[in-house]
Structures are given as structure tokens and as C-alpha cells.
Amino acid sequence: MEPLTLQLEQDFSSSGFSRHPTWLTELMKSAFVSFEDKGYPSPREEAWRYTNVVPMTETPFRFVKDSKFSGVSKDKIKHFVADIEGALCLVFVNGFFQPQLSTLQGLPQGMILQSMAEALKTHSHLVRPYLARFADYREHPFVAVNTAFIHDGLFIFVPKKTVVKFPVHLVYFSASEGQETVTHPRNLFVVEEQGQLQLIESYAGEGTYWTNTVTEIVAGSRATVDHVRVQKEDLKATHFSSVFSHQAADSHFHSHLFSFGGHLVRNNTHVILGGEKSDCLLNGFFMGQGQQHVDNQTTMDHASPYASSDEFYKGILKDQAQGVFNGRIIVRPQAQKTNARQSNRNLLLSEEARMNTKPNLEIYANDVRCSHGATVGHIDEEQLFYLRSRGLDRHISYDLLTYAFAREIIQKVPLEGMGRSLECDLFQYLHGETSQKVPSAALPFSRGPQRTV
Amino acid sequence: MLNINNLHVRIKDNGIEILKGIDLRVNPGEVHAIMGPNGSGKSTLAQVLAGRETYEVTQGEILYEGKNLLELSPENRAREGIFLALQYPVEIPGIANSYFLKASLNAIRRHRGQEELDAMDFLSLAREKMKFIKMDESFLNRPVNEGFSGGEKKRNEILQMAILDPKLAILDETDSGLDIDALKIVAEGVNALRRPDRAMILVTHYQRLLNYIVPDYVHVLSGGRIVKSGDKGLALQLEEQGYAWTEGGV
């Protein structure tokens, strides 16, 4: 048996279910059984064709239950917090909520914002109807593992007609402290009818560890949810993240994914357009360098008529990095008048970088508009010549075109302050300076050419 | 200013020879028109002058202000004062026109030993030049050429020329795709940029542009060679008799 499986079994059997309500214990057990039955995904499965998990199963990532951590200061965390005015910041270290590192004030009346550990004790009745409802652990083995180890994360409940004015910023920081550890953050965000919520989830850390996170988002009718994921894990880390969302009628869900770090990365986004006229934007940018492997899976499930979805994913790969995009659009028989667009464009900055892109449309309705396109290419020689013919150095022109490629995605992020922070991240990762803040003068767009000169 | 001697050029990828011995001399203050049928090599000549690397010079030389131009990279040619207005200006989403123009201008100014312009000084310079070619200021904040109409793209090229202040400007089919009003505006802009110390090469298929920008010399390029040279009268003759007339003379 794989070392990882042994470790998971050992950790699971010593999880101590006694503190949980019965329904949760049943859920966790059922998820673990499902994982054991199914085992690890094989490259023969379409969704795992280009990502081999066998090497990672050699590492017995340990699940650490106590939340006593030294050495993670507010200063260290600050580096991973985007400068967004008024944002509530919730910090998790090795998977556990750290109130002393977090800022929490000014919640609107009726809104519930709690660590998952806390919510399972005090608001179990609100958590239960939604937890694991859309994140299907029978389909996804690593979602099953996460579900089996549900312990902490964030729970937000936004009641009817409540507009949350401040973005909520979650920072998950892992410090592996000499041993290889795993965290299973579990987030649940429920936004009721006409509610509005903006979220940022950031992942970072130090050392060799595995983040296996699952977020479920439930948007009620006419609700609006903006969700930004920023992945800046250690370049030795393994990062698996899954977001599952379900939308009721006339709701808006805009998801922005930025994947920079990690050695082995899998970003999964699964959207169910469950109500008429709901709309979804999936905006994604990923970058890989060195030996990084970055896999992006998206599913856009049109389950209702008159819904629309827009999907833009872009990737930049350097060195020997490998990228995967597998974008699935399902249009159910009842989902007439669906409007779905998908595009995946990739820029390779070396000869050795590899990209596998696969748009995948399954259309069962007859009155729909669907389009998709995928490209893999190098820096455009005509654009390069154009910039050089105006006096710009070859390498500056090259960098500018690389930024410009990514910037199209960054510009779609609505939160003020977030765009600038992402431009800094892009600069750092492109130039291999991941350990310090970039002086703003070094950034080609620091003065915001879109706004002023 | 520019001396082209026996220039032979082929396409790097397939080895097809496009230019088969071009001789051309351009002095400061002169405006030369290069005309010719499709495929005669007009655009190739323009691109080679700007340093396009898809072409390979197999024979001959280009001297620019006494220097061997072929040894200079495209960016150094631009800094030395060569400007090519492209037939098909490239769209660059994600880079604002203003950022591009300011970076270009400052790269050229650094090379000339001039101080770089700050944002405010650049903005007032850009505003002045935009007014002069009747271009709306909003174009500064838009991504380079993205979503511009054909006429707007060409005008953007002339704006770049006005800002970058070249010594030798090469305009490749600047008239193509323009309606008569847009053509007049572009031509007025170009005429205003004529100066005793600046030379221009107009590459064009049609005589039409030359009604508005009157050249000092006209050359007819055919089959990779200059087959006729003359004054502006030559352009009119071409208009009447077509290119077949010049080919007959070879």
C-alpha cells in the first residue's frame, strides 16, 4: 500500500469523532470509504490523463491536529495579504483558524462568519443542509479525502438582502516545520436571495506540504458572489483546490483564479447554473516554471434555461513546466437558450514547456449558443518587431508582451487593490523573486496606464 | 542620408528572392515615392530598412548616415532615427497606447543623450500631437491599436511618427484602407512633418496618395528591381497607363 494511504488511514482512525454530531461523523466516514473504494485516480481517466499522482502517494503527508504553532508572525502573514481597503482578514495556519492573527469587525447584522470548527458546534443546522451537497466526494477522490478530514475552514452565511460591504480575505498559510504535513481546509459560503459577498482566498506557505482544499459556494436567487483565489504556495508544495458553486435564478458568480506557486497543482472549478438567467464568469490565470505541473479543470454545468457563462483561462509556461486545461461545458436538455463561451490561451516561453488543452462540450439541448477556442503559442513575432521598431529593447519588449498577455485576465478582477497586488505577484514570479516585495517603480504598469498616463 | 547599393533580399524561411538588386539614394528633405504592382517587393524593402528579421540580405549594402544599417538591431535603427509606419499596424491588447509611446520616446531620448520625459511632460506633448492629427485623447488610454478602425490605426502610426520625431520616415501603404476624408487627415499630418532635415519614403500602390503628399521623386519597383525613376509626373503616367507599361520597358 502507498505510504500516503497508510498515513491517511492511520490519521483517519485517530480523528476522534466523538466531538462531532452524528450526521457529520457519518458523512466523514462515508467519504473515507468512498476514497478507499475508488483509490487514487488513474491516468486512464479522462480528467486525470495528464496529471500523474503516483509520485505524491510516496510521501506520507501527516495530518496535524493540534493548533499550537510557533514562528508564524503577523509580519510573515502580511506578505500574503493583498492591500485591500477595509477587507476583513482571516488567517489560518496549518489549516486552523488563528483569531490573534485575524481582523474581524463591522459585520452586517445577521451575517454569520465563523471558523468551520466553531460553526459546526454552534450553527450546525445552517451548515448541514449545504455541506458536501455540491462537492461530490463520490466523483472526486481528493474531495473525498478532504471531506473525511473536515476540521476547520471558514463558514459564511449572508442572509436575504444583505450586502457585505467589505471583502472577506482568507489566508491559508502552511508551515511544514520539518515534517511533511497536509491540511484539508473546508469553506462553505452561503449567500441567500439578493445577498452580496466578495471573497478572496489566498494560499501560501513554507516547505514541503500538501494543501487539499474544498470550497462550496451557494448563491441564492439574485445573489452576487465574487470569488478570487490566489495560489502562491511554496514551490515544493502540492496544491489541490476545488471550488463547487451552485447558482439559483438571476444570480451572478464571478470567479477569478490566479495560480503561481506549487510543485504539483490542480485547480478544479465546478459550476452548476441551477437557476434561470443565472450567469457565471470563470476567469483564470496560471503560470508554471522550473518543473512545475499546473492542472486546471473546469466544469460549467448549464442545468437551467437562459443562463450564460463566460470562461477565459490563460497560462504562461517557462522552462520545463507543464500545464493542463480541461474545460468541460455541459448543456442539459432543459437548458435551452444557453449562452456559453470558453477560451483558453497559452503562452510558452521556452521550447521545453508543455501545454495540454482540451475543450470539451456536451450539448443535449438544441437551441443554444456555445463557442470555444484554445491556442498554444509563443510570443508573437509581429508584436515583438512592432515594439522593437519603436526603439524598445528586445528583452523589454518580450517582458512587456508577457505582462500584457496576463494583464487581460488581471484587469477583470473587480476589487480595488487586488489588481495591483496581482501585478506584483506576476512580476515576482516572472523574475524569480518570490521572497520580497517589489518596489512599485519596477513595475511596468505601476502607474496604472489604464487610468492615467 | 540613405544609400542602398545593389540590395538583394530573400525570405529566410523559404529562400525565395524578393529584391534583386536595388539602388536608391535619399537625401535629407527629400520625399521619395516607391510604387509598384502587388508582389513587386515594395513592402519587403520597407521592412528590411526597419530591420525585420524574417528577411535575409544576401548581397549589397545599406548605408544610413554613413553607417552600415544592416549591423543595427531594429531598436537601434529606431533610436538612430528610422521610423516605419506599418501597412498593418499590430494590435497589442494589455498595453496602453500611452505607456507604449512614452516608453518608446524615452528609449529614443536616452539614446540621444536627452533627458527622459516625465508623465506630465509626455502628456502635454502627446496632447499637442494628437490635436494636430485630429485624434481623440481617449486613444491614449486604449490598448495599442486594439479595436481601432483601419483609419484610426493609420492615424496612430502618424501620431507615433510625430512624437518619435524620426530623421527617416518610411510609410508603408499608409493610404490603403482609408476613405478620402481619413486620407486627407493623414496626408495633412505627413505634410506638416516634412522638414529640410527629414527624409520620407512613401510606399504605395496607387497614385491617389501622391495627390496629397507630393513627392520629389517617384520610383517604380517591379520584380524586385527599380525599373523606372522620375519626378511626380511618372506617377501620373502610371495612373493612366498601368504598371504593364513599365514592365514592357524592362
Which of B12, B91, B99 has the highest number of chain A CBs within 10 A, making it the mutation to test binding with A? Answer: B99
CA distance A127 to A163: 20
In the prediction, which pLDDT does A275 show? 98
Instruction: Indicate whether this complex's ipTM tops 0.85.
Output: yes
Contacts of A383 in chain B (CB under 8 A): 90, 92
Question: In this structure, are strands A238-247 and A209-219 parallel, antiparallel, or unpaired?
Answer: parallel
Model confidence pLDDT, tens digit, residues B68-97: 999 999 999 999 999 999 999 999 988 999
- Among A405, A171, A136, smallest CA distance to A244 is for A136
Band of pLDDT at residue A309, cut at 50, 70 and 90: very high
Model confidence pLDDT, tens digit, residues A77-103: 887 887 788 889 999 999 999 988 888
DSSP state of A170: E
Segments in A315-433 forming alpha helices (H): 381-388, 394-410, 418-430
**If you average pLDDT over residues A301-312, what whole number do you get?**
98
In the prediction, which pLDDT does A80 show? 82
DSSP state of A71: S
Statement: residue A444 has pLDDT above 80: no
CA distance B67 to B69: 6
Q: C-alpha grid cell for residue A235?
A: 514551490
Residue pair A300/A283 in contact (Cβ under 8 Å)? The answer is no
Q: How many CB atoms lie within 10 A of CB B249?
A: 9
Specify the amino acid at residue B189: G
Is B112 buried (19+), middle (13-18) or exposed (0-12) by CB count in 10 A? Answer: exposed
Beta carbons within 8 Å of B220's beta carbon, 6+ residues apart: B35, B36, B226, B227, B228, B229, B234, B238, B243, B246
The nearest CA of chain A is from the CA of B203 a distance in Å of: 17
Model confidence pLDDT, tens digit, residues B117-165: 999 999 999 999 999 888 999 999 999 999 998 889 999 999 999 999 9
Q: Does B87 touch chain A (CB under 8 A)?
A: no
Statement: residue B112 has pLDDT above 60: yes
DSSP state of A207: S
CA distance A226 to A252: 8
Residue pair B211/B180 in contact (Cβ under 8 Å)? The answer is no
**If you average pLDDT over residues A125-142, what whole number do you get?**
96
Statement: residue A440 has pLDDT above 70: no
Taking CB atoms and an 8 Å limit, are A408 and B94 in contact across chains?
Answer: yes
- Among A189, A200, A121, smallest CA distance to A158 is for A189
Q: C-alpha grid cell for residue B11?
A: 525570405
Of A388 and A16, more confident:
A388
- Of the partner residues B52, B94, B140, the one whose CB lies closest to the CB of residue A453: B140
Q: How far is CA A335 from CA A27, A220, A415, B78, in A?
A: 31, 19, 32, 56
Query: Which residues of A have a CB under 8 Å from any CB of B?
Result: 380-383, 385-394, 396-397, 400-401, 403-408, 411, 444-445, 447, 449-453
Largest Cα span, chain B:
57
Band of pLDDT at residue B241, cut at 50, 70 and 90: confident
In the prediction, which pLDDT does B238 show? 83
The nearest CA of chain A is from the CA of B140 a distance in Å of: 8
Contacts of A398 in chain B (CB under 8 A): none
In the prediction, which pLDDT does A381 show? 94
Q: How far is CA A337 from CA A272, A304, A330, in A?
A: 16, 9, 13
Of A416 and A388, more confident:
A388
Model confidence pLDDT, tens digit, residues A319-365: 999 999 999 999 999 999 999 999 999 999 999 999 999 999 999 99
Band of pLDDT at residue A285, cut at 50, 70 and 90: very high
- Of the partner residues A396, A400, A453, the one whose CB lies closest to the CB of residue B98: A453
Contacts of B100 in chain A (CB under 8 A): 387, 390
| Structural domain boundaries in chain B | 31-51+74-248
Model confidence pLDDT, tens digit, residues A359-384: 999 999 999 999 999 999 999 999 99
Distance of CA A346 to the CA centre of its chain: 19
Q: How far is CA A99 from CA A66, A93, A107, A179, A237, in A?
A: 15, 10, 15, 25, 25
Taking CB atoms and an 8 Å limit, are A391 and B107 in contact across chains?
Answer: yes
- Among A357, A427, A415, smallest CA distance to A202 is for A415
The nearest CA of chain B is from the CA of A203 a distance in Å of: 27
Q: Does B54 touch chain A (CB under 8 A)?
A: yes
The nearest CA of chain A is from the CA of B169 a distance in Å of: 12
- Among A27, A24, A29, smallest CA distance to A12 is for A29
What chain A residue is nearest to B140 in terms of C-alpha separation?
A453
pTM: 0.87
Beta carbons within 8 Å of B227's beta carbon, 6+ residues apart: B220, B221, B246, B247, B249, B250
Model confidence pLDDT, tens digit, residues B55-69: 999 999 999 999 999
Question: In whole numbers, what is the pLDDT of chain B averaged over residues?
Answer: 92
Q: Does B241 touch chain A (CB under 8 A)?
A: no
With the C-alpha atoms ordered A38, A43, A46, A50, is the resulting torsion angle positive or negative?
positive
Taking CB atoms and an 8 Å limit, are A390 and B53 in contact across chains?
Answer: no
CA distance A262 to A237: 5
Which fold, B31-51+74-248?
A: Rossmann fold (3.40.50)
Q: Per-residue DSSP letters for B5-21?
A: EEEEEEETTT--EEEEE
- Of the partner residues A390, A404, A449, the one whose CB lies closest to the CB of residue B104: A390
Statement: residue A66 has pLDDT above 90: no
In the prediction, which pLDDT does A69 show? 61
The nearest CA of chain B is from the CA of A291 a distance in Å of: 28
In the prediction, which pLDDT does A79 show? 79
Outline where DSSP puts E strands in A11-95.
62-63, 88-93
Residue pair B101/B135 in contact (Cβ under 8 Å)? The answer is no
Band of pLDDT at residue A242, cut at 50, 70 and 90: very high
CA distance B34 to B31: 10
Largest Cα span, chain A:
71
CA distance A241 to A347: 23
Question: Which residues on adjacent β-strands are paired with residue A271?
Answer: A245, A300
Model confidence pLDDT, tens digit, residues A30-53: 999 999 999 999 988 989 999 999
Question: Which residues on adjacent β-strands are paired with residue B229?
Answer: B219
Outline where DSSP puts E strands in A209-321.
209-219, 224-232, 238-247, 252-259, 264-273, 279-288, 293-302, 308-317
Contacts of B103 in chain A (CB under 8 A): 392, 396, 400
Q: B residues 199-228 near A, CB within 8 Å?
A: none
- Of the partner residues B75, B94, B111, the one whose CB lies closest to the CB of residue A388: B75
- Among B238, B248, B180, smallest CA distance to B212 is for B180
**If you average pLDDT over residues A11-29, what whole number do you get?**
87
In the prediction, which pLDDT does A5 show? 93
Statement: residue B194 has pLDDT above 50: yes
In the prediction, which pLDDT does B10 show? 96
Taking CB atoms and an 8 Å limit, are B78 and A388 in contact across chains?
Answer: yes
